[in-house]
Structure 1
C-alpha cells in the first residue's frame, strides 16, 4: 500500500459494518492516521460462501489498498472470458486488456477468502474490532457524533461511517428520507464448487431466457450464477429442494454450465436470493454521519461491480477527508464525486435485468453491458 496523505480534519472514526466497504474504509483511514474502531453485528464476522468476480475497475481499487498480489495468490487472475450459446456452442473469446499498466485484467476469488484477506489487513493495522454489536442511537453534537451501542456502551467519534449493508441500521437512524432497496423481479442462484476440468477463464452463456455465468475463483474453485425471474417460494427452498430447483433451471444448458448442473450436490454451497437495488436519494451525509456501500448504493450482480464501487467509495472518502479543512466539507465532496458513478452502476444493472425479463436480444443486452464497463474503466 502506497503512502497516503494524512488526515487532519478528524482524529477518530467509527465504521459500522465489517463487510468489504467497511473494511476498505477502515484500512484506508487507519493508514492516513485516523484512530478507527470497526463494529459488526455478526458475532462471528461471517460472509456468504459465494465467489466474487473481480473486474478491472475492482482490481484497480484493490491496488490502492495494496491487495492485488493477495488476490492473485489466493484467487484466480485471467486474461478475459469466453462467450457461449446456452447449449455450449462456443461463440467467441473476449480478451480484456488491463485498464492500467501493471494491473491484471480480471479474475475472481471466493468471497470468504477475500474477507479473510481484508480481516488480516485490519488486524495488521491494529484496528480495534467489536463484534455482535451495532448502534442504537446517533447524535451530531459539537463537531462530533455521540453514539450509544446495542450492548449498552457509549462512545464519541469525529465521524461515523455507515457501511452496514443493504439493511443499514445507520441509514434507518439518521436518514429518514431514504428507504429500503426495492426488488427488481429477478433472483440470483449461486453455487460454489470444484472447477470443471476444461474451464480456464470466465464463461457466459447467452440465447436463453435465463442468463448464466461462471467465474474462476482459484486453482480448482468456481462459482456459477444463474439469473431467473423471481418466483414466490423459491427464497424459502433449502437443501435438496434448493439444489433440485437450480438444476431444473439449468436443464437446457450445455458445456461447463451443464457439467456444473450434473455435478453439483447439496454438499456444495448453494444459495438463492431475490435481487434488490436502490441508489439512495441525496444527501448521503447528515452532519458527521455518512453512508457508503450497499447502505447507499445497493446494486445487482449484472455488472459485477458492487464490491468495486464500495471499495472506490471508501478510497474517495479517505481522499476527501485528507484534502478538506473540515469533515463536513469532505463528506459533501465525497458525495459529489461518488453519486453519479454509483447511480450509473445501479441504474444500468437494474436496466439489464429488466431487459432480460422482457426477453430483449442478447446483442442489445451485451451492448448495454459493454458500454457500462467502458464507462467504469474511466477514473473514479
Structure 2
C-alpha cells in the first residue's frame, strides 16, 4: 500500500508538473491547482543543462523537448565584434552520453510539453484556482479552495514558486527571498550559430542560446541597486542600451530593437531573487518543492533543473519509505546539497560579476559546479 493515496500539488510550474507525472506513475491520485488560468508562463527561452536533460528523460519528456527546442555540445566565445575567440566543448551528464551537453527551448513550449504529459498521466488539473486555507491533523490535510470547494488529502506539495503561499505553513519565520543586485534581460532573436555563444565585453556579458532550429534567446545580466519597477514599454530601449559596446551580430540585434525591425522579440526583464532554506522542508503532511525552498539566479542554468530533480527525489522517497515522515526527511536530506550547490555557486558568480571581480575565479566556480552537477543524483 502506498504511503499516500491522494496528493494535492499547489503550483503548475515545472517542478509541480514533474511531481504530478511521477506520482501518477506510482498510481497515486493527484490533483494540481494553478492560479494562472492560462497555465502559460511569461518568458522567452530557458536553458536546459545536461543534468536537467537527464532528469527530464526520467520524467519521460526529453525526446519532445529536444524535438521542439535547440541543443548544443559546445559554447563559442566571441569578442565585442562577434569574432570567435574560443570554442569550449560541453560534456553530457554522467549516464546520459547519448544526450547533448545542453539544450534550450521557449518556456511556453516546455510548459506545453509538461502540461500534456501531466494531463495524460491522469492528473486532475484545475486552472484559475488555488487554496484558501490548509488545516492538517495527523491523518491528513483539509483544503479549502478559492472556488469554495473542499477536499481532504494525504499530502500537500507546495510547488508555487519563489513567493510561495504554502511556505508559511511550513516555514512561518522565513523572511522572504532577497534581491541579488542583478536584473535579467531576455529576448527572442534569430539563431545565428550552431552552438551556444557568449559575447564578452568590457562591462557586459551577453549570450545567445538556441531554442529551436531557427531561434535563439538573447540573455544579458545587469547590475542594479534596487528593485525599481520598470514599465514594459521601456524594456527594448533599455536592453539596447546594455548592448551598446557590441558590434557585429549583437550590434545588428541592438539596432533591430531600436528601429523596430526585430519582430517578435518578446523582451523580458525581471529582478533576480534568491534564497536557500534549511531543511527539513515539511511540517506534518505539507511539503515544499522547487523555488519555494531553493530559488536561484540563472548563472548555472539549473534553477528549473534542480526543481525537476527535487520532484524525482520526492517521488522516489515516497515510493520506497515505510513512513511518510521518513520519506519527507529523506527527500530533503538527499536533495539539499545539490540544491545548495546551485544556489550558492550561482550567487557567487553574480557577486563576482557585480564587483567586476576575477574572471579566473568566475570560470573556476562555474566549472566546479557544472562538474559536480554532472554526477548522478
TM (norm. structure 2) is 0.94
- Does residue 320 (structure 1) correspond to residue 314 (structure 2)? The answer is no
- Paired residue for 1:245, among 238, 242, 245? 238
Partner of 2:214: 220
- Does residue 39 (structure 1) correspond to residue 33 (structure 2)? The answer is yes
How is 1:1-380 mapped onto 2 (pairs within 5 angstroms)? 8-99=2-93, 100-196=96-192, 199-230=193-224, 235-239=229-233, 241-264=234-257, 265=260, 267-380=264-377
TM (norm. structure 1) is 0.94
Whether the 8 Å contact between 1:192 and 1:224 is mirrored in structure 2 is: yes
Distance in 2, matches of 1:234 and 1:242, equals: 13
Instruction: In structure 2, list runs of 5 or more residues that go unmatched.
Output: none
| SS of structure 2 residue aligned to 1:18 | coil
Whether the 8 Å contact between 2:170 and 2:287 is mirrored in structure 1 is: no
Count of matched residue positions in the alignment of Structure 1 and Structure 2: 371
Distance in 2, matches of 1:32 and 1:328, equals: 19
Alignment CA distance shift 1:14-1:123 (3 Å): same
Identify which range, 316-325 or 170-179, moves more after superposition. Answer: 170-179
Distance in 2, matches of 1:192 and 1:65, equals: 27
1:166-224 residue CA offsets vs partner (Å, 9 max, x unmatched)? 1101003332032311001011111113323xx21111122432221111000111111
| SS of structure 1 residue aligned to 2:36 | coil
Deviation at 1:62, TM superposition (A): 0.4
Distance in 2, matches of 1:160 and 1:363, equals: 44
RMSD: 1.6
Deviation at 1:255, TM superposition (A): 3.9
Instruction: In structure 1, list runs of 5 or more residues that go unmatched.
Output: 1-6
